[in-house]
Chains A and B, each alone.
Chain A
Amino acid sequence: MGDSNMSYESVYLICQQASVSERSPINMDGSEFVVGVAVVPAETRDQALDLLNDYFHRNHMALMTLESVHKYEDNSAELSDIVTDDVTYAIASARQRGEVMYVCTETSETLNDQ
């Protein structure tokens, strides 16, 4: 997955809520769902959504609510709320590895704790 000599410039940020099963690698606290930002190297919005669905399928997750889809532009002011340090790092990784990266911002457990 991904060619180490290429850089994948075009990246989409997809804000959504996804269910997680016990087997999902991101489920470390017994949650039923996560809220997060998926960082998807893709040329088009549709391709990004397809690749995210593939990622969910492989990782025992499923889309619950699609909040928003953004083509990432460096230094975009309107994306500044979404692009946290974790997301910044995920963007660099997605561009380098050509793989979907997923940054959880909440889980159903962390929401319960608040």
Chain B
Amino acid sequence: MTFNIAKTAVNGVMRSAGFTVAEGSFLPNLLTNTNLIIKNETLIEVPRKLVLRTCFDPIEVWRAKHNFPQLHTESTSGVFKGESKTEKWFAEINNDLWFFGIDGTNPDDIITSVQGLMHYTHSRMGFTMTPGEILGEVYIKNLNAERESDLSNIDLIKQNKRLYESTFTSVVDAAKALNVLHDLDIYVYSNNRNPKISGGDILDAMNQADATRAFTYSKRIKQQSQSNDATAVTPANMVTNLHMGTFSTKTT
């Protein structure tokens, strides 16, 4: 059972970027969807001026895994050094800006990628996005700490819950450090019946990360996904659940 998205323009032109953590493939059907927001209990599709997609894998690992040998020749790519002096690779892929080697549980990595997009908009697009325009809606799909292959499923669930909680906290801490003044909305795509972590556990993780509000949207959404090693894809007709947590960036 899926639903019909109400396609409504929200307050005219959307200036804000979408931001994703733990991105995988660059194929359009596998990208994390950053065009959905929940407003007044309704799911709305919004256009994005830009999307910043962050990826855990270092660029060369990602390039081999996703069969993109021509990445450096076909796309603009390079290295960006943020204020923390850490260098991260970026690439422009299908009009999105990707950052690689970004550990979502490390606020410094999140900050570097945000500063990278600010620099990118400033130097290539004639305007500078602010941190508040970049970190507004954050999207995560099917996080899985699957590298721990010797864990029992119960232990993997606990690991994944910690991973989600650390990621939520890290993104909020990054937003605070960048003086983002508005609340963050973090959206997670994960089937309630995902054996790696239930929808209820994801909401618990949001609450443990001090969400002011956390809920699962009432209708399921069609989303395709890929295993961490990028060898397997789920069916095109598979549905998932959308969970949303709102997090304050107030430091007092």
Q: Which residues of A contact B (CB under 8 A)?
A: 4, 22-23, 25-30, 55, 59, 85-86, 89-90, 92-93, 96-97, 99-107, 109-110, 113
List B225-252 residues whose CB lies under 8 Å from chain A. 225, 227-240
A30 touches B231 (CB 8 A): no
Which listed residue (B1, B146, B235, B240) contacts A104, Cβ 8 A? B235
* Known contacts A28-B238, A104-B233; 20 further A-B pairs (Cβ under 8 A): A23-B156, A25-B229, A25-B232, A28-B194, A28-B196, A28-B225, A29-B191, A29-B193, A29-B194, A29-B239, A86-B233, A90-B233, A97-B67, A99-B231, A101-B231, A102-B232, A107-B238, A110-B238, A113-B1, A113-B237
A26 touches B227 (CB 8 A): yes
Q: Does B142 contact A (CB under 8 A)?
A: yes
In the complex, what residues of B have CB within 8 A of residue A26's CB? 227, 232, 234
| Mask of B146-183 contacts with A, CB within 8 angstroms, 1/0 | 10000001001000000000000000000000000000
Closest Cβ of chain B: how far from A33's Cβ, in Å? 12
In the complex, what residues of A have CB within 8 A of residue B200's CB? none
Q: A30-B195, A103-B233 are in contact. Are A25 and B239 (CB under 8 A)?
A: no
Q: How many residues of B contact A (CB 8 A)?
A: 33
A25 to B160, CA, bound (A): 13
- With both beta carbons as reference points, the residue of chain B lying nearest to A58 in the complex is identified as B149
In the complex, what residues of A have CB within 8 A of residue B229's CB? 25
- With both beta carbons as reference points, the residue of chain B lying nearest to A29 in the complex is identified as B191
A30 to B231, CA, bound (A): 19
Closest Cβ of chain A: how far from B140's Cβ, in Å? 14
A96 touches B67 (CB 8 A): yes
Q: Does B13 contact A (CB under 8 A)?
A: no
9 pairs from A and B in contact (CB 8 Å cutoff) = A25-B229, A27-B195, A28-B190, A28-B194, A89-B27, A93-B231, A96-B67, A106-B237, A107-B234
A25 to B29, CA, bound (A): 19
Q: Which residues of B contact A (CB under 8 A)?
A: 1, 27, 29, 64-65, 67, 69, 142, 144, 146, 153, 156, 190-191, 193-196, 225, 227-240
Q: A92-B67, A97-B64, A104-B232 are in contact. Are A30 and B146 (CB under 8 A)?
A: no
A110 touches B233 (CB 8 A): no
In the complex, what residues of B have CB within 8 A of residue A25's CB? 144, 146, 227-229, 232
- With both beta carbons as reference points, the residue of chain B lying nearest to A25 in the complex is identified as B227
B146 touches A109 (CB 8 A): no
Q: Which 4 residue pairs across A and B have the least CB separation, nearest first?
A: A30-B193, A22-B195, A25-B227, A102-B232
B231 touches A109 (CB 8 A): no
Closest Cβ of chain B: how far from A26's Cβ, in Å? 4
Which listed residue (B67, B69, B194, B237) contacts A30, Cβ 8 A? B194
In the complex, what residues of B have CB within 8 A of residue A103's CB? 232-233
In the complex, what residues of B have CB within 8 A of residue A55's CB? 231
Closest Cβ of chain A: how far from B53's Cβ, in Å? 19
In the complex, what residues of B have CB within 8 A of residue A107's CB? 234-235, 238
